[in-house]
Structure 1
């Protein structure tokens, strides 16, 4: 993934952001896994009787990054590529 990120063109900013979020989230979870043997989930959302499973910021970064990759694959964020001279 790091190699893919390094090979992106300057006009592929949305994909660069998406890959950075996924890579950062994965590294964050890996650090927790290596340091503690498990990933620390510390965000627990309740609304009245509704409960969302616990998660952490790294999980959120991965989900947002994948969402941006999907959006980019459908054309969102694609500007016109610079003209080749």
Structure 2
């Protein structure tokens, strides 16, 4: 357990950041799920628009430290290849 005032404050900050990161990660996963669903339905237009909306969310997650840069790049590469293959 935190004993010093500094460590108590850090514990509070960590709880706050964890909630913010959890919401951010959830929002990104929702966008990725929409792309997956559009790909599964075979609708290339819907998949393309979903991918375009997912990309900035994913990159925002990188800048905020939720995902690693290479992880986001890998996800975008694989999704875009699958969307491209629909045509």
> TM-score under structure 2 normalisation?
0.41
Normalising to structure 1: TM-score of the pair? 0.42
Greater RCO between the two (CA within 8 Å, min separation 6)? 1
Structure with the higher fraction of residues in helix conformation: 2
